[in-house]
Structure 1
Amino acid sequence: MQFSEFVSFFGWMTVVNYAILCLWLAIFGGAKQHLFFLHTRFFRLTEQQFDLIHYCGMGLYKLLIIAFSLTPFLVMNSLF
């Protein structure tokens, strides 16, 4: 693989991961009660715990996107 292909790979990886994050946020915002009902069938959770788990999960996913796809893309793009 050439260097420009790695830059393109990390760029598209960033776009796809942010799209997944936006989809997660949209589904969580639009169907929160349905998701809560689905999860409480398997786990004993309060609504506050459910919200906390999802918001922390989204925050962690966002940090991982920044660390493992956006930062390499920006560094490689500045070198190219």
Structure 2
Amino acid sequence: MNIELLQTILGWCAILNIAILLWWFLFIVFARDWVYRMHSRWFTLSQEQFNTIHYAGIALFKILVLIFNVMPYLVLRFLI
């Protein structure tokens, strides 16, 4: 595996993960009640717990995408 291939893979992974993150965010913003109803069927959650879990999940996912996809991509981009 050469650096160009790794850079391409990291770039596409970053785009895919950012799209998933955006999709998750938009679902919580525009369809929060529906998502809450779906989750409350399976788990006993209050509105506050639901909001906290999703806010923390989105924040953690964003940080992990930045650390493991975007930063290595940018480092390889500036090395070449």
What TM-score do you get using the length of structure 1 for normalisation?
A: 0.94
The number of equivalent residue pairs is 80
Counterpart mapping for 1:22-41 below 5 A: 22-41=22-41
Give the corresponding residue for 2:15.
Answer: 15
Give the corresponding residue for 2:71.
Answer: 71
Cα deviation, residue 2, structure 1: 2.2
User: What is the rounded CA distance, in whole Å, between the counterparts of 1:62 and 1:48 in structure 2?
Assistant: 21
Which deviations, in whole Å up to 9, do the C-alpha atoms of 1:36-77 show, x marking residues without a partner? 111111111110110010010000000000110011101111
User: What is the rounded CA distance, in whole Å, between the counterparts of 1:41 and 1:2 in structure 2?
Assistant: 48
Mind listing any 5+ residue stretches in structure 1 that lack a counterpart? none
Give the corresponding residue for 1:48.
Answer: 48
Aligned-residue RMSD, C-alpha: 0.8
User: What is the rounded CA distance, in whole Å, between the counterparts of 1:56 and 1:19 in structure 2?
Assistant: 18
* Identity across the alignment (%): 34
Runs of 4+ in structure 1 displaced over 2 angstroms? none
User: What is the rounded CA distance, in whole Å, between the counterparts of 1:72 and 1:39 in structure 2?
Assistant: 35
What TM-score do you get using the length of structure 2 for normalisation?
A: 0.94
User: What is the rounded CA distance, in whole Å, between the counterparts of 1:52 and 1:40 in structure 2?
Assistant: 14
